[in-house]
Chain A
Amino acid sequence: MSDRRKKNSMPEQSPAERRRNFAEVALGYDAETARCEAARCLQCKTSPCRQGCPVEVDIPGFILHIRNGDFAAANEDLLRYNALPAVCGRVCPQEDQCEKLCVLGKNGEPVAIGRLERFAADYARENLPPAPVANVVRPDAPRVAIVGSGPAGVTAAGELAKMGYRVTVFEALHMPGGVLMYGIPEFRLPKAIVQHEIGALRAMGVEIVSNAIVGKSITVDELMNEEGYQAVFIGTGAGLPYFMGIPGENANGVFSANEFLTRSNLMQAWRADSPTPIFVGRRSAVVGGGNVAMDAARTAVRLGAEEVFLVYRRSRQEMPARHEEIDHALEEGVIFRTLTNPTAVRVDDRGWVSGLECVEMELGEPDESGRRRPVVKPGSEHFLPVDSVIMAIGQGPNPLVQSTTPNLRVNRWNNIWTDENGMTSRPGVFAGGDVVTGAATVILAMGAGKRAAQAIDRYLREQK
């Protein structure tokens, strides 16, 4: 350990190696390194880091356990606040949350809170006997239906089961996990970890029904009036892909990031023996600058594209992706075309993409989001020849529940409205996560699920 002002580095697969496989990139701390990193924490009395965490994990508390070598206690501490520490340690945007407020950050690098969180959870999963899960569900307890099995739904389900409620999760896809399964790639979040967490939920007595599309297979009203659920939580996420609306966008070889990532992750097209086809070609352009864009670009690299361009209309500073993912993408050879915006998809005579017509952008005055608005640079039209285009410019809320649940208030983007307790305009129907906030983060969705579970508990007690 050389420089105490810096984080202990975490071993990673080398870029040359990982460009050709889907195994996890970051390999995690070993026990020794974790204890060294934990020793950097000053155990601040006021623990400013906690204010940066949406679920206020007791950061100095769990770190002290790691420092003392009591990794089991560290994990138990974490689980009191966060049901998915192995996931959050990997995917939280720590630089904007807990680590942003760490005092060490003023004069060097903050404590690697995310890496430590990941370490404790991984250690427990791999080395400790599974904590005896008490199935405390009461056979006569009220029944609660959870719609969607992403981080919001899974968290709400777990919290409610712990309180003894009889919980059923309804998931439209064939696998539970939401974005954690279909969106975030294996090389960033191994699917075995997600399924381990889902398994824990089942062990607690939560029933998970996949292939159940609420709004189509069964409606919210039927759940409440015919199936005997006394409360419903909607955590259906933001999975509706947006397209740019430019000419040529329906050509063959133009995909939404959702389609591309779902084929690769959920349908396992990344495996050579998978029956699901996926196409990337020799040169691929990914449009966008968030986590979704980075995941799509890095997946395209791994599927064998020789050149992958990331086309983003602002500059690198404005990219909303986690810093680590941006760095990893660059290391893996993704070519950033920032301050560039596509104006049309050029289509060949067989209906396939042949490239993107683009313009260069300059940053003008700040817009509503406080970021400088990109404006077109006159005379900057140019052409980027590519074989595939992946649109990662954002997603809207999944619409099926909204359109089939009468009197459910939504805003103009079709996000579900809730009061401060997470209750919708329909009594007994709660909502949280991306379907309420718009596309956000795993930990915010989990926080919403947890708060809604508490509100559902209060609501059901008052009903008695």
Chain B
Amino acid sequence: MGYKIIRKKVLSPTVKEFEIVAPLVARRAQPGQFVVLRVDADGERIPLTIADYDRQRGTVVIIVQELGAGTKKLGRLEQGEELADFAGPMGNPTHLHNLGKVVVIGGGVGIAAIWPIVRGMKQAGNHVTTIIGAKTESLLILVDELAGYSDELVVATDDGSRGVQGFVTTALQAIIDRGQAIDQVLAVGPAIMMKTVADLTRKYNIKTIVSLNPIMVDGTGMCGACRVSVGGATRFACADGPEFDAHQVDFDLLLSRLAMYRQRERDDVEKFEHEGGCKVHE
């Protein structure tokens, strides 16, 4: 069976791009959707955004940041090797129509997620301002590609090694301050980044969409691991999202749930493991 890697590109020491043969995913993939893959027969189910796809070739591109054991194992694979499982497309696609002036924000590997969205927004006739942010220049990805489809591209790095020094919100604030009308903001990145974007645009009453990335298991609506609270109601991000109205999202809950296994690991692993009460693996 296997899903073959036909191209691998190292974008930074910890960020890798793969093009994978998966005709059943490529056939209906759309911007904003994601896949769930397993590296080998023992592996975890890892959700990753669809960064690009080619229906003719039947391939899908993913861009992965190595974080824990699962993503590290994935990052070590080479062209020609195969993944055990690759399922999708999951989640609902981004609504791509002409909204007027949009700002699309990507942070970290969120930059990979906005790549097909920026393209789609441009093709739908929007004026697109793209903001991308990373800790430092070497972690920036897809800069030229995004520049090609954006009316304006703003780069922000925490250390100022490229573009504006500061966060994506620093750049967004500057755009707001210069009086540019914004019909919609769409932000994808770490939960904390999406939270700060939401806090900023709430002040100015700018409609904002975020793509949530809670811990998932199946990705098809069957387990509830990905529960998020939106407008006070519990939703399953994999099936009802992943995009939601940023101003309705309970980000503190999302941040807390994302730390579920991490926090336990730090605080309790010794206590529980000695008593056989808990099992958490890195």
Which residues in A have some Cβ–Cβ distance to B below 8 Å?
A: 172-174, 209-213, 216-218, 239-241, 243, 245, 249-250, 252-253, 255-256, 258-259, 262-263, 267-269, 272, 274-282, 303-306, 350-351, 387, 398-400
Contacts and interface: CB of A to CB of B under 8 A. Distances in A.
A275 B217 contact: no
A239 B224 CA distance: 10
Interface residues of B, number: 47
A30 to B, nearest CB: 34
Interface string B248-282: 00000100110111011000000010011111110
B258 to A, nearest CB: 10
Nearest to A278: B279
Nearest to A226: B27
A370 B278 CA distance: 41
A211 B224 contact: no
A172 B234 contact: no
Contacts of B260: 252-253, 279
A275 B224 contact: no
Interface of B: 1, 24-25, 27-28, 38, 42-45, 69-70, 84-90, 217-218, 220-225, 227, 229, 234, 239, 253, 256-257, 259-261, 263-264, 272, 275-281
Contact of A172 (B217, B220, B225, B281): B220
A242 to B, nearest CB: 9
Contacts of A275: 42-44, 69-70, 281
The residue in B86, B234, B264 that gathers the most chain A C-beta atoms within 10 A of its C-beta is B264
A256 B224 contact: yes
Given A173-B218, A277-B280, A217 B88 contact: yes
Contacts of B42: 268, 274-275
B279 A277 contact: yes
Contacts of B276: 304
Contacts of B89: 216-217
6 contacts: A172-B220, A210-B87, A216-B89, A304-B276, A351-B259, A398-B222
Given A213-B220, A304-B278, 13 more contacts: A217-B89, A241-B222, A241-B223, A241-B224, A253-B260, A255-B225, A258-B222, A258-B223, A262-B222, A276-B44, A279-B278, A282-B272, A351-B253
A263 B234 contact: no
Contacts of B263: 252, 350
A303 B279 contact: yes
A281 B87 contact: no
Contact of A250 (B1, B69, B85, B253): B253
A272 B279 contact: yes
Contacts of A239: 221-222
Contacts of A245: 234
B56 to A, nearest CB: 16
B94 to A, nearest CB: 15
A212 B42 CA distance: 19
Contacts of B281: 274-277
A262 B218 contact: yes
A399 B239 contact: yes
A211 B85 contact: yes
Nearest to B255: A351
The residue in B38, B44, B221, B279 that gathers the most chain A C-beta atoms within 10 A of its C-beta is B279
Contact of A279 (B24, B86, B218, B264): B264
Given A250-B229, A281-B277, A400 B28 contact: no
A216 B91 CA distance: 8
Contact of B225 (A174, A259, A399): A259
B279 A240 contact: no
Contacts of B264: 252, 279
B55 to A, nearest CB: 13
A174 B257 CA distance: 25
Nearest to A388: B278
A19 to B, nearest CB: 11
A333 to B, nearest CB: 15
